[in-house]
């Protein structure tokens, strides 16, 4: 890759700090900062009005040292090769931190799915899969849902691939409907992982995990599940915001009622269980835990000095800018980074892949128990590394990830 974009450069900034502490071999450093494969495809689709549109799609396999590539497919007008490459790199490190035998990949199509019919989306999905069919497979590259894609789109991916290979292959994709080989517990997995690391962080800091006060930014899948599961443990969720508004109640919010309200109104704005609250005010609340579970770059150099939470558990990808990270670390905020905190999703995707390959499915309780164990192990490894290198958890997570990929890279050697 001759030129890097801003998003990939942000990934490199995080990588470089950890690689320096690790004293990474320069040759391995060069290997791990270049994507293995970047594919650009054209996807012609006949639209409902009879006209043909040609959509641009990408699939980047960043690294497959530890196993098949793993990563979602997103549909969005702003998808770019730079973004997809950076996300594929982050997936590499996330899988390595979670200690699952996958490499990192990502895919995307430049489109606006909100302006497309179901038939058009299906046609686009199937054409995209047909264009990358030789790249993917249960032993090569396993896609999953991402921004603006869901279990139905994964069902179309699985069916299209299966038609090409001549047999039903459920393990080619994760995040499928349960009826066709999806895993129980997958929908809640990312939020459940956030809950587990939040409680582990609290215990490490000497806080009672059962009496935490919590503020959550974002009430989509990750934020709502995190809030719900933490409230069930006895923690008090006092504030929640979403894209439209927010609610604060010092005595604690009724998350079950909030879930029902959000399902009906598509927002929590106006929820009758507390006072109105803005995103700006959320960040300044005096709480034990802040969970940013919305968009990237929400915590910046401007608002980081106002954060009073003791723990910041990143449910979203990239919610904290590098400048904000430095401020938070200097102020003693215990930041559990995204590649650790929200790795419950890819961990349970791994469980789904295992179940599909094995042809035997676990109960939801078994899935959750295995996820709990994996998240605890990942947190313990990152925490021990942060102590060993006297650094923050984000850098420590990268050290864990890079060292695991680098060790196997050296063992495998160079094929020439």
Which range, of 90-104, 197-211, 291-305, averages the lowest pLDDT?
291-305
- How many Å apart are CA 29 and CA 240, to the nearest integer? 41
Selected catalytic residue, list 23, 70, 94, 106: 106
At 183, list the tokens.
Answer: 């895993």
Which long-range contacts link 177-182 to residues 24+ away (Cβ below 8 Å)? Answer: 177/151, 177/152, 180/155, 181/352, 181/355, 181/356, 182/151, 182/352
Please, which pLDDT band fits residue 3 given cuts at 50, 70 and 90? low
Q: Tell how strand 37-46 and strand 52-63 pair up.
A: antiparallel
- Bridge partners for 55 per DSSP: 43
Tens digit of each residue's pLDDT (9 = 90 or more) over 102-132: 999 999 999 999 999 999 999 999 999 999 9
Q: How much of the chain exceeds pLDDT 70, in percent?
A: 99
State the number of CA atoms in the 13 A half-sphere of 194 facing the CB: 32
Q: Tell how strand 236-241 and strand 246-248 pair up.
A: antiparallel
Q: What is the mean pLDDT of the chain?
A: 94
Give the rounded distance of the alpha carbon of 372 from its chain centre.
Answer: 17
Structure confidence at residue 273 (pLDDT): 85
Please, which pLDDT band fits residue 82 given cuts at 50, 70 and 90? very high
What is the arithmetic mean of pLDDT over 257-279?
92
Confirm whether pTM is higher than 0.85: yes
Query: Is 106 labeled as catalytic in the residue annotation?
Result: yes
- Bridge partners for 312 per DSSP: 290, 335
Instruction: Lay out the sheet containing 103-110: strands in order across.
Output: 37-46, 52-63, 103-110, 69-76, 141-145
Please, which pLDDT band fits residue 147 given cuts at 50, 70 and 90? confident
Please, which pLDDT band fits residue 2 given cuts at 50, 70 and 90? very low
Tens digit of each residue's pLDDT (9 = 90 or more) over 17-58: 999 999 999 999 999 999 999 999 999 999 999 999 999 999
| List of domains in the chain | 35-170 (3.40.50.10860), 189-336 (3.40.50.720)
Give the rounded distance of the alpha carbon of 139 from its chain centre.
Answer: 22
- Bridge partners for 31 per DSSP: none
At 294, list the tokens.
Answer: 């919305």
- How many Å apart are CA 275 and CA 408, to the nearest integer? 53
Q: Decide if 407 contacts 96 (C-beta within 8 A).
A: no
- How many Å apart are CA 213 and CA 286, to the nearest integer? 9
Q: Decide if 29 contacts 79 (C-beta within 8 A).
A: no
């Amino acid at each position: 890759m001759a030129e890097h974009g801003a998003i990939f450069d942000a990934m490199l900034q995080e990588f470089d700090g950890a690689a320096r502490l690790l004293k990474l071999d320069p040759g391995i450093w060069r290997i791990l900062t270049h994507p293995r494969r970047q594919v650009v495809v054209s996807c012609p689709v006949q639209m409902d009005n009879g006209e043909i549109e040609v959509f641009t799609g990408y699939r980047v396999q960043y690294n497959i040292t530890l196993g098949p590539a793993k990563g979602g497919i997103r549909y969005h007008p702003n998808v770019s090769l730079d973004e997809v490459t950076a996300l594929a790199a982050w997936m590499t490190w996330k899988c390595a931190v979670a200690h699952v035998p996958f490499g990192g990949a990502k895919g995307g199509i430049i489109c606006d799915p909100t302006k497309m019919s179901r038939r058009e989306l299906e046609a686009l999905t199937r054409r995209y899969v047909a264009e990358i069919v030789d790249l993917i497979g249960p032993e090569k590259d396993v896609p999953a849902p991402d921004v603006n894609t869901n279990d139905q789109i994964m069902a179309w991916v699985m069916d299209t691939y299966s038609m090409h290979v001549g047999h039903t292959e459920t393990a080619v994709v994760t995040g499928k409907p349960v009826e066709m080989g999806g895993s129980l517990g997958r929908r809640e997995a990312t939020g459940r992982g956030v809950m587990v690391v939040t409680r582990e962080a609290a215990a490490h800091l000497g806080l009672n995990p059962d009496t935490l006060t919590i503020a959550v930014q974002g009430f989509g899948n990750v934020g709502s599940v995190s809030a719900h599961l933490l409230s069930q443990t006895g923690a008090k969720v006092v504030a929640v915001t979403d894209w439209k508004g927010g609610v604060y109640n010092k005595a604690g919010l009724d998350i079950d009622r909030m879930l029902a309200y959000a399902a009906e109104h598509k927002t929590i704005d106006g929820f009758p269980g507390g006072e109105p609250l803005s995103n700006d005010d959320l960040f300044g609340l005096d709480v034990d835990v802040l969970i940013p579970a919305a968009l990237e770059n929400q915590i910046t150099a401007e608002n980081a000095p106002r954060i009073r939470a003791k723990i910041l558990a990143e449910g979203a990808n990239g919610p904290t800018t590098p400048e904000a990270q430095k401020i938070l670390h200097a102020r003693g905020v215990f930041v559990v980074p995204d590649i650790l905190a929200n790795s419950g999703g890819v961990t349970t995707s791994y469980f789904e892949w295992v179940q599909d390959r094995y042809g035997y499915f676990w109960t939801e309780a078994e899935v959750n128990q295995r996820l709990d164990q994996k998240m605890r192990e990942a947190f313990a490894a990152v925490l021990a590394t942060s102590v060993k290198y006297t650094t923050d958890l984000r850098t420590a997570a990268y050290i864990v990830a890079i060292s695991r990929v680098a060790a196997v890279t050296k063992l495998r050697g160079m094929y020439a």
